[in-house]
């Protein structure tokens, strides 16, 4: 992405939408830290002039209760390594890039909302028959969480933050959808220190990163006829609550911030042993 002209920055809106961004970043896993790289194309990303406010302080009573109710260690892939990579390409940038020109003035430095598109044929299945095994809700939500994590880590690298607990958390949101089902993820990066997933001696006050997942929300029922009659596809049972939730995700970083957010512990989902 090319930099903006600062002489016209005052006339620009508070947020800006970018498209088809290439994000390449990394974090360090375990002790000693092993470098884990991300390289992903992001569909639409909304940036703002101000950061999204933290959902809560990492040392608050709510966060401590959340950590207690989801105490590690978590299940793992053992005996396989959680760092297993099945890709055929192993060349990654040494530095971190969030898609903007490095060192250039940025009137929109803060990531707000990421969209993750899983419309066909973007499914994990046979390419010749993509409808046979569509992506599951858990897979959609995991991908959305990792998109948020990668965006937050790339932003932390841009700020030059050390691999420790963050004095000011970095927050970002994602909407993941295949056009019918929607998953909403709110992510808060509290630390860049990522210990081993199966470590047994976690201290009780360990600072962890937290994701809230509001998933598997169906906007409408899509009735697809036989392939020869796709023009007769029907849509029914529109759920305007899902549409309102989508609109709220879009507007949240513009008109409000996450203060006094207290999800019941049963509804809050602390996700991911490796993040």
CA–CA separation, 123 and 130 (whole Å): 7
Q: How far is CA 275 from CA 24, 74, 233, in A?
A: 17, 11, 41
Q: Give the pLDDT of residue 25.
A: 93
Q: How confident is the model at residue 69 (pLDDT cuts 50, 70, 90)?
A: confident
Q: What is the mean pLDDT of residues 114-119?
A: 84
> Which residue from 93, 102, 112, 92 is spatially nearest to 158, judged by alpha carbons?
102
Q: How confident is the model at residue 205 (pLDDT cuts 50, 70, 90)?
A: confident
Report pLDDT digits (tens) over 214-229.
988 999 998 877 766 6
Q: How confident is the model at residue 171 (pLDDT cuts 50, 70, 90)?
A: very high
Residue percentage of the chain with pLDDT more than 70: 73
Inform me whether the pLDDT recorded for 1 exceeds 80: no
Q: How confident is the model at residue 253 (pLDDT cuts 50, 70, 90)?
A: confident
- Phi then psi for residue 259, to 5 deg, are -110, 145
Q: Which two tokens stand for residue 220?
A: 């409408």
Whole-number mean pLDDT of the chain? Answer: 79
DSSP string across 143-178:
HHHHHHHHHHHHHHHHHT--SSEEEEEEEEEEEEES
Q: Give the pLDDT of residue 78.
A: 66
Query: Which residue did the predictor score with more confidence, 129 or 19?
Result: 19
């Amino acid at each position: 992405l090319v930099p903006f002209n600062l002489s016209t920055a005052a006339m620009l809106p508070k947020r800006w939408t970018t498209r088809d961004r290439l994000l390449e970043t990394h974090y360090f896993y375990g002790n000693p830290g092993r470098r884990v790289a991300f390289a992903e194309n992001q569909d639409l990303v909304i940036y703002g002039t101000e950061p999204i406010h933290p959902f809560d302080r990492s040392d608050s009573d709510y966060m401590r209760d959340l950590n207690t109710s989801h105490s590690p260690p978590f299940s793992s892939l053992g005996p396989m390594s959680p760092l297993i990579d099945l890709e055929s390409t192993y060349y990654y940038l040494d530095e971190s890039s969030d898609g903007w020109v490095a060192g250039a003035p940025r009137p929109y430095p803060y990531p707000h909302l990421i969209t993750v598109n899983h419309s066909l044929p973007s499914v994990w299945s046979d390419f010749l028959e993509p409808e046979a095994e569509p992506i599951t809700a858990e897979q959609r939500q995991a991908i959305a969480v990792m998109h948020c994590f990668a965006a937050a880590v790339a932003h932390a690298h841009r700020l030059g933050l050390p691999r420790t607990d963050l004095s000011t958390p970095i927050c970002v949101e994602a909407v993941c959808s295949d056009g019918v089902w929607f998953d909403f993820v709110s992510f808060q990066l509290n630390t860049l220190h990522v210990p081993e997933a199966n470590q047994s001696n976690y201290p009780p006050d360990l600072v962890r990163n937290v994701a809230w997942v509001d998933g598997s929300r169906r906007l409408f029922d899509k009735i697809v006829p036989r392939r020869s009659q796709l023009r007769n596809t029907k849509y029914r049972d529109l759920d305007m609550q899902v549409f309102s939730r989508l609109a709220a995700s879009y507007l949240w970083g513009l008109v409000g911030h996450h203060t006094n957010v207290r999800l019941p512990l049963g509804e809050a989902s602390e996700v991911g042993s490796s993040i």
